[in-house]
Structure 1
Amino acid sequence: MHYPENKALEDILERAGACLEKGSPFVVYRKPNKTNIVGVFQSGNVLHYSKDFTEKGFVFAPFSSEDKVVLIQPDKVWQGEFHPEKSQKANTITLDESGKDAHIQLIENGIKEIEKGRLQKVVLSRKIEVSITKSPVKIFKTLLKKYPNAFGYLLHHPKVGTWCGATPETLVKVKDKKLQTMSLAATLPYIQNEDPKWGNKEIEEQQMVSEYIGDKLAHTMERLEIDEAESVRAGNLWHLRSEVRGTMLPNLNVKEVIRALHPTPAVCGIPSEEAQQFIKANENYKRTFYTGFLGELNLCSRGELSLFVNLRCMQLEDGKAFIFVGGGITEASDPESEWMETQNKSKTMLGIL
């Protein structure tokens, strides 16, 4: 593979549009707080997989760790600059109440399971279907404009479908054996000129995630530091986040780190195995790539990766967008508030459409 070729943004987006029409595999993306857009284009429609994260390219991994990790091969890599104009006024979004009873029932079942002592936390989600008229490339451009501090992407493979999103959450970054990740949990709506007021439920939920990540990574690191939690804004929401840094043991392979971290408690629950089983048995739809992860693999240099959790995303198919929203359920959860949290989260993607 050659170094990324510098191209005009229009050329990159035009090529992405042509790939969509032809059904050729590609991904275009922008990292958080960057102006650089990268396009990874694969020739041929073969569905490649990553076996051990030593390959080169862009990975797209499902929620279920039993399913294979898709690899978009970097037969051509282009990069260009994206300078967003100021975002337009937010449009008013009408929220649909359908599916409320089923979601509340799901949350109540989750709380019962926690009360039985089988789970400490479980993340439960639902899927919303919306008709769209905008092209995937237009949706991607809007998303980049609206969420500059998120990882924004548009990905297509004929055997996987078309996905796009703007995720606020890093799964893991590794460079020269130095690791960075984050513990992200809890959600409150953003209100102008007001600081978020976190309750015990949110503080405990975030603490739980930090401890869990610490435990999971302990055996893979020479040293590990977890910062205090701070409030961070993602679009129209607040979250609590702690930065996590470490130095990997010299002979450790990256696959073990990814296996330790995915799926994170922020998208699955604690303990992970039991939470996954509960989700599969109760959610009533298959998440596929929602709450999986995606990102660069050895694209810049050997042993360097930059992976993000696939949140705030949608699947685009035949004039429809499927949006996924969920929330962390603990013993202190209130089903009505949890429903409202998913409604608030749905505005992120609905606002793009």
Structure 2
Amino acid sequence: MSELFNKIKVQFENNLPFAVYCKPSSNRIIALLQHDKSYQKVSKTNTSGFIFTSFDGKSSCLIPKNNSNIIVEIVDDSTFFLQKNRRNEIDYEVKSKYESLIQKGIDAINNNEFEKVVLSRKEKVAIRKFDIETTFYNLIQNYETAFKYCFFHPEIGLWMGASPEQFLKVDNDVIKTVALAGTQLFSENEIVNWNKKETQEQQIVTDFIVKSLQKYVTNVSVSSPFTQRAGNLAHIKTDIEAKITNIFDLDKIIESLHPTPAVCGFPKEIAKKFIIENEGYDREFYTGFMGEWNKNFLTWEDLKFDLFVNLRCMKIELMSNGEMAEATLFIGGGITKDSIPENEYLETVNKSMTMKKVL
């Protein structure tokens, strides 16, 4: 066990909050180990630390810089673990229930209630012997270009994930974000082709973000859509960059963007209401956002925000014996009028492989 993860193990055993993460294509692991069990909310953008925010935006927890030990460790290749692929067995009862939910969403779109909605489900996986370090290094090994993290607070629980989607990156007065939508299995030997449903879904996300930013920014730059690989999956991605007119509007920008149509739908509030009323479970922090808040913990510069959407994630609960655990996986997809329920279910199966591969 590395020195860092030995400290994380002690932190976890003492029920003390922590966040450990590795940025996309980075060889540095950064950890914030909180000194006490206090729950700190983010009230102003002048506070610094690691933020963890729920889908509905009502819960937001900060591991604060000024109440934590900060540790940086270089990724050690020798600690990587090789994993075999897990078989994905179809649960036909789950399949039927999820496809019914998808059809309900399509019917609502055809009734002009909204243009797009993102509908999800959860899946429980038993883990014989869970270890934070092993699982975290599996994330690093398998998902180099994703944001890998592990977050724990006794009032929230233990969460881990490998997100392919940037929510917001702020460097002084320059803001960057992405529109990410559409999902296919990635194959090294095949050219990725996107159909009308997937390109329209992604365009909805792009248009929403640009419109939401308009009154707060200038010099907006939008790239052409391109294919982005994320582990065994491929997505359509558009890069968006702009200059903030007033840095004190950052709270308003975040409020206007979260949750984006990539994880909620459009129009946002109507789609969000449909999700809460029909998904049948609480998303908690799935499709929320997390990351560095007002500090780059490698350079120690202020006015740096590096936030990611909490996708490809799981909540882990340890059993009483301390070794057995149960992981709750959260998986979903964007629904438009052209969606086919069975295809949407199969997309969630493909996405679930991301997390199952590391367990």
TM class by shorter-chain length?
A: over 0.9
1:22 aligns with 2:14: yes
Q: Where does residue 111 of structure 1 map in the other structure?
A: 106
Q: Where does residue 338 of structure 2 map in the other structure?
A: 332
Say which is worse superposed, 30-39 or 90-99, in terms of deviation: 90-99
Say which is worse superposed, 176-185 or 92-101, in terms of deviation: 92-101
Q: TM-score, normalised by structure 2?
A: 0.93
Q: Alignment length, in residue pairs?
A: 344
Instruction: Label 1:12 to 1:203 Cα distance change in 2 as closer, same or farther (>3 A).
Output: same
Q: Where does residue 42 of structure 1 map in the other structure?
A: 34
| Alpha-carbon distance between aligned partners in 2 of 1:251 and 1:189, rounded to the nearest angstrom | 39
- Displacement after TM superposition at 1:223 (Å): 1.8
| Alpha-carbon distance between aligned partners in 2 of 1:83 and 1:32, rounded to the nearest angstrom | 16
| Structure 2 counterpart of 1:346, one-letter code | S
1:189 aligns with 2:151: no
Unaligned runs of 5+ in 2: 319-324
Matched-pair contact (CA < 8 Å) for 1:172–1:180:
yes
| Alpha-carbon distance between aligned partners in 2 of 1:84 and 1:112, rounded to the nearest angstrom | 50
- Displacement after TM superposition at 1:215 (Å): 0.6
Which residues of 2 match residues 77-156 of structure 1 at below 5 A?
77-84=70-77, 88=82, 90-97=84-91, 98-132=93-127, 133-156=129-152
User: Percent identity among equivalent residues?
Assistant: 36
Match of 1:261 among 251, 257, 262: 257
Matched-pair contact (CA < 8 Å) for 2:83–2:358:
no
| Aligned partner of residue 123 in structure 1, secondary structure | strand
| Alpha-carbon distance between aligned partners in 2 of 1:27 and 1:143, rounded to the nearest angstrom | 15
Q: TM-score, normalised by structure 1?
A: 0.94
| Alpha-carbon distance between aligned partners in 1 of 2:104 and 2:27, rounded to the nearest angstrom | 44
| Structure 1 counterpart of 2:315, one-letter code | Q
1:230 aligns with 2:226: yes
Matched-pair contact (CA < 8 Å) for 1:95–1:343:
no
Q: Where does residue 71 of structure 1 map in the other structure?
A: 62
Matched-pair contact (CA < 8 Å) for 2:81–2:134:
no
Q: Where does residue 286 of structure 1 map in the other structure?
A: 282
Q: Where does residue 305 of structure 2 map in the other structure?
A: 305
Instruction: Label 1:176 to 1:18 Cα distance change in 2 as closer, same or farther (>3 A).
Output: same
Runs of 4+ in 1 over 6 A off after TM superposition: none
The alignment yields a C-alpha RMSD, in angstroms, of 1.4
For residues 65-118 of structure 1, the C-alpha deviation after alignment (integer angstroms, 9 at most, x for no partner) is 2x1311112221010100436774642423342411110010000001111101
For residues 213-249 of structure 1, the C-alpha deviation after alignment (integer angstroms, 9 at most, x for no partner) is 1111111102211100000110111100000000000
1:214 aligns with 2:210: yes
Q: Where does residue 43 of structure 2 map in the other structure?
A: 51
- Displacement after TM superposition at 1:347 (Å): 0.4
| Alpha-carbon distance between aligned partners in 2 of 1:24 and 1:248, rounded to the nearest angstrom | 36
